[in-house]
Amino acid sequence: MTLPVHMLVMPILVPLLAGAIMLMYDERRRQLKLSIGLVSCVLQLGVAIALIDRAGGSAVEGRNIVTLYLLGDWPSPYGIVLVLDRLSAVMLLLTALVALPALLYAGAGWHRNGQHFSPLFQFLLMGVNGAFLTGDLFNLFVFFEVMLAASYGLLLHGTGRVRVGAGLHYIAVNLLAAMLFLLGVSLIYGTTGTLNMADLATRIPRLTDAQRPMVHAAAALLAGAFLIKAAMWPLCFWLPNAYGAASPPVAAVFSLLTKVGVYVVIRLGLLLFGAQAGASAGFGSNVLAAGGMATMVFGAIGVLQAQDLGRMTGNLVLVSSGTLLTVLGLALIYDDAPMLTAALYYMIASTLALAALFLLAEPIGRKEGGIAGLLAITAEAFGLDAEDDLDEERAEQNRPIPGATALLGLAFLACVLVVAGLPPLAGFLGKFGMLSGAIERVTVLPNLWGHWAFVVLLIVTGFCALVALSRWGIQSLWANTDEPPLPVLEILPILLLVGTVALLTIEAEPALRYLDRTADALTRNQVYIGGVMTAPPVGPDPS
Amino acid sequence: MELTLSLGIGVLVASGVWLALRPRTFQVIVGLALLSYGVNLFIFAMGRLVTGAAPIMPKGGFVNPERYADPVPQALVLTAIVISFATTALFMVVIMASRGLTGTDHVDGKERSS
């Protein structure tokens, strides 16, 4: 299938333009802004699906096609490039799949609770998409900062003492992470003379003995920055507070932000320090594996201890990142492509389920008149009640539907099954794949304590999640007789997310095949390097 | 020159880290500002220190790169300055909001009870 060349830059341009257009309008035109945002999210979803096709070639061939977009039309390792390969395409699709329901949910009322929700949301998406597409380290920094600046605004959305307190810590931690990032990037440039990831990967095996420790130090600094974002223990203490304090639609998209950190660690780890890296092969893999397992333990304890669903889900985010980082660490040492495939599948399923849990937390826990009261207070605080016909509009949109508890309960059950890794949903397939990969490895080499520990931890953390979530579910869904008011606009996004997980389960075979090729390309970094280093510039248009 | 610069970066970063770990929001923001100065100088130094050399090269013909300063770190540091300035300003606003909401300038929003 041939697509226009400029398709590749669309995931960045669409949210940028949508956000910019929204800024032209007054804060009172919320409905209009919401519509622009939804159109932008649907467009991004369409582009992401097209790009998935593009990165994989046709389903029959199943190739790895690395597509470049030369932003200034300078030749590849020198100019700024956007790179699309299978992993980027999968991450773009995941972003679009989470963003659309989150924005729909916000449309049920949360977007009214403060200023500039919709533009910030679009700028956040721009940063996330850009971070997935960029091919050089400095632009990765820039897109990270775009994403973070928008996330600061979104975390504070709705204000209140708890959010401002959590936001203060979140911003301070992320500013420090940005400094580490800059130090790492400049040290890499000063030592190797390049910032292009593929070019850097070709230079790493050929480093001199004097340069190698410098590059390792730079990689460790960079890893510090990314692991703060991915929330590896002991850099994760900010996460449960921040995610628990954020408003539900914001927390749902925030479940993507940790995956941006994980994505960068997967991308750079396997590209720079994979098996082909010569003397640097496997650098940092022990730290990733051990840190990932510590994160799983910390997250599991946090889940058991948490009282409300928001905080519980925040800790489940930790478990999810910990699992992925452990698998990456093990894959870096032993080249475990099958485990990596299952981990990527688990990442998609768990991110969708966690986003759904964040969204579920509010309607289930809502006491009588909860959100209406909240909305009234914030509307008063912002002096907004006079100008638009809020009440009428909201009554129209937020008509409660019958059988709310049953629907919410079923959606909650589906999320629990995915997060705990029980059959029949996608979480089980992912966990089963990781377990079977690890066990296959230890049947050949029985002394790998890392794999044994991972197998045990994966089962135990799933069990902890199951215990904690069942306890919460019994308390809130069974012991709670009054039906919570549930507008259609709130249940629809939750059902969308759960439906996507179900689709992922039904279509497990093509999905896993796609991810298998992805993991395969990741463990052979010449695929990516070859794609980036050989592209000639397009040149001026002859016409 | 190298020694002066590296000492300068070291002092800035050390005082920045110390201040960022202090309990008052004002100290934290000054610490983060000092840290970003240190980091910006570090990025600049990664282009190697040369004096009296322009970073912009003439067009066409053979250019001896040894007679020019490396332009990439200068571009990087410019971007980094803009971004860190903007995020520090944003942090300042959040700090003021926190001061207004909690009535204290402690980073946890409450004084230690002891």
Is the pLDDT at A382 greater than 60? The verdict is: no
Whether residue A159 lies inside any domain: the answer is no
What percentage of chain A has pLDDT greater than the value 90?
33
- pLDDT score at A332: 84
Listing DSSP states for A213-279 in one string gives HHHHHHHHHHHHHHHHHHT-TTS-THHHHHHHHS-HHHHHHHHHHHHHHHHHHHHHHHHHHSGGGGG
Nearest CA in chain B to A157: B94
Q: Identify the weakest region by mean pLDDT among A321-330, A364-373, A383-392, A426-435.
A: A383-392
Which of A476, A451, A358 has its CA nearest to residue A110? A358
pLDDT bucket at B63, cuts 50 / 70 / 90: confident
Alpha carbon of A187: minimum distance to chain B alpha carbons (Å)? 7
Which of A529, A543, A534, A456 has its CA nearest to residue A85? A529
Q: Identify the weakest region by mean pLDDT among A344-358, A428-442, A517-531.
A: A517-531
- pLDDT score at A386: 42
Residues of A in contact with B73 (CB under 8 A): 186, 189-190
Does residue B84 sit at the A interface (CB-CB below 8 Å)?
yes
Architecture per CATH, B2-50+69-102: Orthogonal Bundle (1.10)
Whether residue A146 lies inside any domain: the answer is no
Report long-range pairs for A440-449 (Cβ below 8 Å, ≥24 apart): A440/A338, A441/A334, A441/A336, A441/A339, A448/A334
Whether residue A421 lies inside any domain: the answer is yes
Q: Work out the angle between the directed axes of helices A508-523 and A248-273 (0-180°, nearest 10).
A: 40
- pLDDT score at A95: 94
The interface predicted TM-score (ipTM) is 0.92
Contact B94 A145 (CB under 8 A): no
Size of interface A-B (CB pairs under 8 A): 90
HSE value, Cβ hemisphere, 13 Å, CA-based, for B11: 6
Q: If you average pLDDT over every residue of chain B, what do you get?
A: 88
Tell me what the mean pLDDT of segment A393-397 comes to.
50
Residues of A in contact with B19 (CB under 8 A): none
Residues of A in contact with B15 (CB under 8 A): none
Residue at A503: amino acid letter: L
The residue that leads in pLDDT, A398 or B17, is B17
- pLDDT score at A323: 93
Is the pLDDT at B32 greater than 90? The verdict is: yes
Most confident range (mean pLDDT) of A273-287, A396-410, A461-475 is: A461-475
Residues of B in contact with A138 (CB under 8 A): 76, 79
Tell me what the mean pLDDT of segment A123-151 comes to.
92
d(CA A96, CA A23): 22
Tokens of A133: 């597409």
Q: Are A194 and A200 in contact (CB under 8 A)?
A: yes
d(CA A213, CA A280): 10
Tell me what the mean pLDDT of segment A276-303 comes to.
88
Whether residue A166 lies inside any domain: the answer is no
Residue at A236: amino acid letter: C
Whether residue A460 lies inside any domain: the answer is yes
Q: Are A490 and A394 in contact (CB under 8 A)?
A: no
Residue among A161, A167, A186 minimizing CB distance to B42:
A186
Q: Identify the weakest region by mean pLDDT among A84-88, A181-185, A506-510, A539-543.
A: A539-543
Tell me what the mean pLDDT of segment B21-46 comes to.
92
Most confident range (mean pLDDT) of A422-426, A476-480, A498-502, A538-542 is: A498-502
Handedness of CA A272, A274, A280, A286 (dihedral sign): positive
Residues of A in contact with B27 (CB under 8 A): none
Contact A168 B83 (CB under 8 A): no
Whether residue A299 lies inside any domain: the answer is yes
Tell me what the mean pLDDT of segment A449-474 comes to.
89
Does residue B68 sit at the A interface (CB-CB below 8 Å)?
no
How many Cβ atoms are within 10 Å of A402's Cβ, its own excluded? 9
Domain count, chain A: 1
Domain range for A353 is: 284-367+403-488
Contact A148 B87 (CB under 8 A): yes
Tokens of A346: 């688990």
Residues of B in contact with A164 (CB under 8 A): 94, 97-98, 101-102, 109
The pLDDT tens digits for A230-262 are: 988 888 888 888 888 888 889 999 999 999 999
Tokens of A188: 């890499």
* Residue A101 φ/ψ, nearest 5 degrees: -60, -40
Q: Are strands A81-84 and A67-70 parallel, antiparallel or unpaired?
A: antiparallel
A→B contacts (Cβ < 8 Å), by residue, are 138, 141-142, 145, 148-149, 152, 156, 159-161, 164-165, 167-169, 171-172, 175-176, 178-179, 182-183, 185-187, 189-190, 195
Tell me what the mean pLDDT of segment A177-203 comes to.
90
